[in-house]
């Protein structure tokens, strides 16, 4: 029987939302962990036992790990038994093709090249960054080119000096510390030996099941999970637009349709944000553009939803002016409720609610109020806006635009005036015009 490898030294590249909790949790299992980041201030912060991101419970784990000497941050990788790559994989628009964003693998390439300098026989390399199919093989090629003195799985199969695997991350921000332990993992090795060694590594930490497969399937599994969500949300978003045209309450419609035992439609919203669901489907589309019309259509539906919401606001403004001929556009006060990319968080990255509010701040001649209980001040790029309490917005605004279903907005009270509700929070309003 093969003995389990101990992995006394683990090197994690990228100390962001994924890499830092991963590094800290391995360190909490009394493994010596080197956390690597190219951002010097991140390195300095972590070495002080502090953190630079918001994640409940993480600061305590990092503080203890650093104080006990199990976690050390550096701006270059050091020798280790296993290397985990958790650097960004954004999309980029190449000249001449603005309709088809391409994955940007430059961060993975740089991280791979940096570990090639310290790699030795017997080491394991695991890619955790969300990646297009074939990236793990590409990492192996980059490493082989940099280290001709070592053998790799693509040329030497199970007998290779270096083992390489892909293991996608599926944690939910806000619950990362718990989910790193309890979630099942999909582990795709370039060979069975690679998969088995990576499973040994994760068994230090993971109490969920480790499902072994090949690298391509593991890469595609992560992209499939997020594309599935994107397509389902697009269906709901499209329904909301159809229902508006046909004068049907979409929330009632979905609730009735979901009474069918095999139907489960998601709720529509103002669009899709964040840096996963709105990005990952492009990794499939860019690889197989002629074979993915449904996934591409879903991206387009979700990307176009903010513009539709802006049109709804414009319609509400015009209706208001028609009903109140004594008022001009500059008199009309609009309140936006929620700016974040999903409910009950403070993250504004790629948020459709933020995009809609910014567009409104430039387009509307009157005052625009913002209610966002999860932030203390507005981002600098939004001019002409006022951050106010929900009560003040209820009292002052003529048009109320619900963009995020934060728990604070789900209370019984509903504003009086014209309502554009993108999340169905005030769905019990029988008409969208509750007059004062």
Catalytic residue numbers? 222, 276
Q: How far is the CB of 36 from ligand NAD (least distance, A)?
A: 5
Which is nearest to 230 in space by CA: 196, 274, 286, 195? 274
Q: How far is the CB of 433 from ligand NAD (least distance, A)?
A: 39
State the pairing for strand pair 185-189/163-166.
antiparallel
Dihedral sign from CA coordinates of 372, 312, 315, 257: negative
Q: How far is the CB of 210 from ligand NAD (least distance, A)?
A: 17
Q: Which is nearer to ligand NAD, 132 or 270 (CB)?
A: 132
Residue carrying structure tokens 């909301």: 240
Under the rule (CB under 6 A), what is the footprint of ligand NAD?
A: 13-19, 36-39, 42, 86-89, 107, 110-111, 114, 129-130, 169, 171, 173, 276
Q: How far is the CB of 39 from ligand NAD (least distance, A)?
A: 4
State the pairing for strand pair 433-434/417-421.
antiparallel
CA distances from 280 to 107, 137, 345 (A): 16, 19, 21
Could you give the CA distance from residue 339 to residue 332 in angstroms, rounded to a whole number? Answer: 21
Strand partners, 84: 12, 126
240, 309 Cβ separation under 8 angstroms: no
Q: Which is nearer to ligand NAD, 87 or 187 (CB)?
A: 87
Q: Which is nearer to ligand NAD, 53 or 375 (CB)?
A: 53
Give the CB-nearest residue to ligand NAD: 16
Q: How many CB atoms lie within 10 A of CB 159?
A: 10
Q: What's the distance, Cα to Cα, between the start and end of the chain in Å?
A: 77
At residue 422, the 3 state secondary structure works out as coil
Which is nearest to 273 in space by CA: 223, 205, 226, 335? 226
Q: How far is the CB of 40 from ligand NAD (least distance, A)?
A: 10
Q: How far is the CB of 54 from ligand NAD (least distance, A)?
A: 11
Q: How far is the CB of 107 from ligand NAD (least distance, A)?
A: 4
Could you give the CA distance from residue 204 to residue 188 in angstroms, rounded to a whole number? Answer: 18
What is the gyration radius of the CA atoms in the chain, in angstroms?
A: 25
Q: How far is the CB of 130 from ligand NAD (least distance, A)?
A: 4
Q: How many CB atoms lie within 10 A of CB 127?
A: 30
Q: Which is nearer to ligand NAD, 72 or 320 (CB)?
A: 72
Which is nearest to 253 in space by CA: 235, 270, 241, 240? 240
At residue 220, the 3 state secondary structure works out as helix
Burial category of 209 from C-beta neighbours within 10 Å (exposed 0-12, middle 13-18, buried 19 and up): exposed
Phi, then psi, of 376 in degrees rounded to 5: -95, -25
State the pairing for strand pair 82-85/9-13.
parallel
What angle separates helix 58-67 from helix 19-28, to the nearest 10 degrees?
50
Q: Which is nearer to ligand NAD, 222 or 400 (CB)?
A: 222
Q: Which is nearer to ligand NAD, 169 or 405 (CB)?
A: 169
Q: Which is nearer to ligand NAD, 87 or 371 (CB)?
A: 87
Q: Which is nearer to ligand NAD, 14 or 417 (CB)?
A: 14
């Amino acid at each position: 029987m093969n003995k389990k490898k101990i992995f006394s030294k683990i090197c994690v590249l990228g100390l962001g939302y994924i890499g830092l909790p991963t590094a800290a949790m391995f360190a909490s299992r009394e493994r010596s962990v080197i956390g690597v980041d190219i951002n010097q201030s991140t390195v300095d912060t972590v070495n002080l036992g502090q953190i630079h991101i918001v994640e409940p419970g993480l600061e305590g784990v990092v503080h203890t790990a650093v104080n006990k000497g199990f976690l050390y941050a550096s701006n270059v990788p050091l020798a280790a038994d296993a290397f985990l790559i958790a650097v960004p994989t954004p999309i980029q628009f190449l000249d001449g093709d603005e309709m088809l964003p391409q994955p940007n693998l430059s961060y993975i390439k740089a991280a791979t090249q940096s570990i090639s300098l310290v790699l030795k026989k017997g080491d394991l390399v695991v890619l955790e960054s969300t990646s297009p199919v074939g990236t793990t093989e590409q990492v192996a090629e980059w490493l082989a080119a940099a280290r001709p003195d070592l053998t790799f799985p693509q040329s030497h199969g199970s007998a290779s000096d270096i083992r390489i695997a892909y293991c996608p991350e599926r944690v939910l921000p806000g619950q990362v510390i718990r989910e790193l332990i309890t979630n099942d993992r999909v582990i795709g090795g370039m060979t069975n030996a690679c998969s088995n060694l990576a499973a040994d590594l994760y068994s230090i930490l993971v109490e969920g099941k480790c499902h072994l497969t090949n690298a391509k399937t593991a890469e595609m599994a992560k992209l499939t999970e997020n594309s599935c969500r994107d397509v389902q949300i697009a269906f709901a978003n499209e329904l909301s637009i159809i229902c508006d045209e046909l004068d049907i309450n979409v929330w009632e419609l979905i609730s009735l349709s979901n009474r069918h035992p095999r139907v489960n439609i998601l709720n529509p919203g103002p669009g899709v944000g964040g840096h996963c669901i709105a990005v990952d489907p492009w990794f499939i589309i860019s690889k197989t553009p002629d074979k993915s019309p449904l996934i591409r259509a879903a991206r387009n539906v979700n990307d176009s939803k903010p513009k539709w919401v802006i049109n709804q606001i414009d319609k509400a403004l015009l209706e208001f002016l028609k009903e109140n001929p004594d008022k001009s556009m500059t008199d009309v006060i609009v309140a936006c409720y929620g700016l974040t990319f999903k409910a009950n968080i403070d993250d504004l990255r790629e948020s459709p609610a933020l995009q809609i509010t910014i567009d409104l701040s430039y387009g509307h001649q009157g005052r625009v109020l913002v209610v966002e209980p999860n932030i203390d001040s507005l981002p600098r790029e939004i001019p002409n806006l006022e951050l106010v309490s929900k009560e003040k917005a209820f009292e002052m605004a003529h048009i109320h635009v619900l963009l995020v279903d934060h728990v604070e907005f789900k209370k019984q009270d509903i504003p009086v005036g014209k309502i554009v509700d993108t999340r169905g929070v005030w769905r019990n309003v029988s008409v969208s015009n509750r007059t004062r």
